[in-house]
Structure 1
Amino acid sequence: MSGQRILFVDRDGTLIEEPADCQVDSFAKLRFVEGMIPALLALRDAGWQFVMVSNQDGLGSDRFPREAFEGPQALLLQLLESQGIAFREILIDESLESEGRSTRKPGVGMLLHYLRDRSLDLAGSAVVGDRETDLQLAANLGCRGFRLGQGGETWASVAAALLAGPRQAQVERVTRETRVWVALDLDRAAEPEIATGLGFFDHMLEQVGKHGGFTLRLRCDGDLHVDEHHTVEDSALALGQALRQALGDKRGLDRYGEDGFAGAITLPMDESLAGAALDLSGRPCFVFEGRFPRAEVGGLATELVPHFFRSLCEGAGMNLHLRVRGENTHHMVEACFKAVARALRQALRREGTGLPSTKGAL
């Protein structure tokens, strides 16, 4: 939809660095997070508006006097305004977590008027913070969420992601054997919605969306009266095609992902271990190491597990190395899907706006 996009911005740990005691209650503690001002200026120039949303535990109490907060806060706002960055609104919740108020993030009590404002493009808006509660707030608002630090996003990658536009795709693949529909949003996490007629296969595809950190919806009506081969193969091809389409020209892409290949295999599923390394290179290649103890699990032939990933590589133009060992076939198969999903999560990250290839194309 068209409408005003809002960036809901946390304060401590996002705009300014958070000290060890978690309170910016003196001017000496006021330090900007690296890259914040250039990113906000770029977003402002692209038409974004900013709303500060912050939990300030016990503000106004003896432990955190209001006057100790107001001085650094006023200086922060003045410095940002001097650079041309102003906030549409500043929302501060002063409660403690133990009080359980709806106004405290990730609750939306302070933001109900934005949920009701039809002039906003809330789905196209975003939340930026440094905690899991900020990502939960984004989910509660129905918009994208970005978490800074701890191996996650930087302000540069957030701005690149928001300015580059959404990475979304819808693909329908129709043959005489199957009809598959896939929808992806690589920049927004949501609960997967899968329906293929094969319960165990649905469960495995759910791992791809959940642990890949993106929105995945897939439906397949296949010739299961014959067997499950065409359903598995065509679902993989359609999913791969959707991945390729959503990635576009791949600018800003991290490109490579690995889970378990830097040393020992590291993704466990009880007694089973799996590892995956992939490259969104545009060149399909699949290498598999492993042997399943059983020929079938949950109505799915285990020979179709490597076939699924080979077909996924063909559709996506992806290079994937996958290996697994274990004793329980269910655990081994699930570990494979989770390891690939985690490697995808890493490879799909955006890092700036450049193309990750000396060839000039991917």
Structure 2
Amino acid sequence: MSGRRILFVDRDGTLIEEPADQQIDSYAKLRFMPGMLPALLKLRDAGFSFVMVSNQDGLGTASFPREHFEGPQQLLLQLLESQGIAFEAVLIDASFEHEGRPTRKPGVGLLLPWLRDRGVDLAGSAVVGDRETDLQLAENLGCRGFRIGPGFGDWAAVAHELADAPRRARIRRTTSETDVAVEVDLDREAPARVDTGIGFLDHMLEQLGRHAGFDLALRCRGDLRVDAHHSVEDVALALGQALRDALADKRGIGRYGDSSGRGALTLPMDEALAGAALDLGGRPLFVFDGAIPGDAVGGLPTSLVPHFFRSLCDAAGMALHLQVRGEDAHHVVEAAFKAVARALRQAIRRDGRLLPSTKGRL
């Protein structure tokens, strides 16, 4: 699903080093874990929000006075906030293990608001801690868990796994007319593997993957004995959905693209000329200007080319303006696919950490 991703972070042994007595009750004991700050900044830039979840055995008792805890705790929060790391919640359980309270990790009692929030993508969220109980908490929440410490991992590995994760999607669309399977990896370039039963459409989809710069595997089995309409439409719908799923919350993408990269909106192929400009803002729209000569090219009816792009826009949540002109149908259609691909390359490229919208979501 697409939604807010949360990093549920343990404190002692994760954000800060844990002393031998397991109590950070003085400023002298406050030491950051190696690599913690750059990792949190990287994860923030990747769109994660932060929630601190910590067991503090007996906090508030004579053996661990609250005033001894609060000074180092507030300094920790202030130092992190000064560097751009803020926690949307700080959740502390002060019970002892033998009490068995549901608010103590790995119990989820303190995290019920996030479990109930439909705007939180738990599958895309993660728990980071230094103990087995943190991994159990992750399992109870239904998200990924990472353990930090000798023999396990470090903050750099966690940040790489979560922030640099390739944008992939796999879609299976099955109807009484077609069976379409699509896989995309937007962060890997590789020759496309396409088999739709329509040779020229295969060639165009190979061009789309190559010039858009992503890995594409697509197979379609359709009722070609009737005609190509169902196969073309369902291939476009499945591919559009795969693009939408792989982009997820779209944080950091270019969002907009055009076929020239300079605003000229021109891509030539011999006598044919095509131009494309698109927006991945989530509002589907297709505007077509021009004409494709002839009735078919390579077994693909030319009337289905605009229909392909309209269906792609509907499923991907994309606004696309496409212009074509030319005398040879093969050249016109191929120029159109390449123009859209070049525009798409710009739009899906990661070029920052911010969401490319003042609305706060796409």
Matched residue, 2:281:
281
Report deviation, 1:353: 1.5
Matched residue, 2:192:
192
Aligned residues, how many? Answer: 212
CA distance in 1, matches of 2:356, 2:326: 35
Please tell me whether the aligned partners of residues 260 and 343 of structure 2 are also in contact (alpha carbons under 8 angstroms): no
Please tell me whether the aligned partners of residues 260 and 342 of structure 2 are also in contact (alpha carbons under 8 angstroms): no
Please tell me whether the aligned partners of residues 42 and 163 of structure 2 are also in contact (alpha carbons under 8 angstroms): no
Matched residue, 2:323:
323
Report deviation, 1:43: 10
Residues 45 and 360 of structure 1, relative CA distance in 2, 3 Å threshold:
closer
Residues 199 and 161 of structure 1, relative CA distance in 2, 3 Å threshold:
farther
Alignment of 1:168-187 (within 5 A): 168-187=168-187
What whole-Å deviation, never above 9, does each CA across 1:211-259 have from its counterpart, x for those lacking one? 0100000000000000000000000000000000000111111100011
CA distance in 2, matches of 1:201, 1:297: 9
Question: What secondary structure does 1:292 align onto?
Answer: coil
CA distance in 2, matches of 1:293, 1:161: 49
Matched residue, 1:307:
307
Matched residue, 2:114:
none
Alignment of 1:146-185 (within 5 A): 163-185=163-185
CA distance in 2, matches of 1:262, 1:223: 41
Aligned-residue Cα RMSD (Å) equals 2.4
Question: What secondary structure does 1:322 align onto?
Answer: strand
Matched residue, 1:339:
339
Report deviation, 1:166: 1.2
Please tell me whether the aligned partners of residues 212 and 344 of structure 1 are also in contact (alpha carbons under 8 angstroms): yes
TM-score normalised to structure 2 length? 0.55
Amino acid at match of 1:272: A
Report deviation, 1:165: 1.6
Alignment of 1:124-135 (within 5 A): none
Question: What secondary structure does 1:243 align onto?
Answer: helix
**Bigger-Rg structure (1/2):** 2
Please tell me whether the aligned partners of residues 285 and 310 of structure 1 are also in contact (alpha carbons under 8 angstroms): yes
Alignment of 1:201-216 (within 5 A): 201-216=201-216
Residues 163 and 200 of structure 1, relative CA distance in 2, 3 Å threshold:
same
The share of aligned pairs that are identical, in percent, is 66
Please tell me whether the aligned partners of residues 197 and 220 of structure 2 are also in contact (alpha carbons under 8 angstroms): yes
Report deviation, 1:163: 2.0
Give structure 2 stretches of 5+ with no counterpart. 1-34, 44-158
Report deviation, 1:286: 0.2
Report deviation, 1:270: 0.7
1:294 aligns with 2:294: yes
Give structure 1 stretches of 5+ with no counterpart. 1-37, 47-158
Residues 278 and 44 of structure 1, relative CA distance in 2, 3 Å threshold:
closer
TM-score normalised to structure 1 length? 0.55
